[in-house]
A = this chain, B = another copy of it.
Amino acid sequence: MVQLFHLTFTQGFFIGQLSVIVIVYIFLRFFLFCTKEELKNVQEESYPLSPSNEKSTTEFNDATHKVTPSLSEIYDVKTHEEESLDWFNVLVAQALSQIRQDAVSDDAALKKLQTLFNGKRKPSFLGPIHIKSISLGQRYPVFSNCRIQAQPDDTNGLRATMDLSLEDDIHFVVNTSAVLNVPRPAFAMLPVSLSVRIVHIRGKLSIYFSQSSKSAKRAYLNFTFDPDFDMGIEIQSLVGSRSKLQDIPKIAHIIETRIRKWFITRCVSPQFQQISIPNIWPSSAREGHRQKSTE
């Protein structure tokens, strides 16, 4: 015991420090820290972390099934007034001016329409179709009176309906020829020149969601017009080589019907155009797919 008292001040100083460190180590090691095995049991115990919400572990499965405020709390379909869409018109106008700008650059629109017209479905009695001029108009569509309505075929479903009015001058001029293949192919050609001009489109546009069914895993934003749309089309035609027959009603009628039919079979209810909404959650199917593609 006596030797202890000959340890210098410095040694005492270090021993003192050491003792505290040992005590702290013992506290940490045996009260806070634990070994791997102990860790498992600790994390199995349910943590009463959110006192305000007693079941913290199975919360996930219940949360989304709690009573979610129905959409009618946000918007009362019967009483809500129609809303203006001027801000929306500005964004659409910017998008349209971008589309028109892209259409002009390296004659992209001209080429696309020319390829479309001279595609496989061009009737044999028509010669090659040349587009002489094309204009995607200068003005902008005006959307207005937006309101939410119940879906006609699904009372739970809601859709946004808005009035659309476009007064513009979208037109193109094409040259082609009617080919007489009797008595031999291309025996004679009837030159035809056409100017097609869309001067106004008025109608009711509906936007609605189609929820993805369990398997489909994709939701869609759909766009459709009501059948009572109004489209103003002006068609001029010039047929013949030396003497020309101008504005033959029959030709105008055929082309106008074709344009309307093209529009109705794509955009008028019950038909619709749709944009698919990416599913932000990777489903196991897609992950498997991504693993396969990365192997």
Contacts and interface: CB of A to CB of B under 8 A. Distances in A.
A112 B195 contact: no
Nearest to A157: B94
Contact of A175 (B47, B95, B112, B133): B47
Interface residues of A, number: 114
Contacts of A186: 36
B193 A133 contact: no
Interface centre among A57, A94, A245, A284 (most CB of B within 10 A): A94
A283 interface: yes
Interface centre among A43, A84, A97, A188 (most CB of B within 10 A): A43
A109 B279 CA distance: 11
A40 to B, nearest CB: 10
Contacts of A127: 39
Interface centre among A64, A97, A217 (most CB of B within 10 A): A64
Given A60-B135, A98-B277, A75 B86 contact: yes
A175 B69 CA distance: 31
Contacts of A35: 188-189
A148 interface: yes
A223 to B, nearest CB: 12
Given A83-B85, A108-B282, A173-B56, A140 B69 contact: yes
B83 A188 contact: no
Contacts of A132: 47, 56-57
Nearest to A113: B281
A38 B28 CA distance: 101
Interface stretch (A5-13, A236-244, A258-266): A236-244
A140 B74 contact: yes
A71 B58 contact: no
Contacts of A30: 242
A280 B60 CA distance: 42
Interface in A120-164: 127, 130, 132-140, 142, 146-148, 158, 160
Interface stretch (A14-22, A208-216, A224-232, A249-257): A208-216
Nearest to A134: B60
A94 B241 contact: no
B281 A102 contact: yes
B64 A101 contact: yes
11 contacts: A33-B188, A35-B189, A39-B191, A49-B173, A50-B173, A63-B134, A71-B90, A74-B89, A95-B209, A95-B219, A111-B282
Q: Which 9 A-B pairs have the closest CB atoms?
A: A108-B281, A63-B135, A33-B188, A59-B133, A34-B241, A49-B195, A94-B209, A47-B193, A98-B219
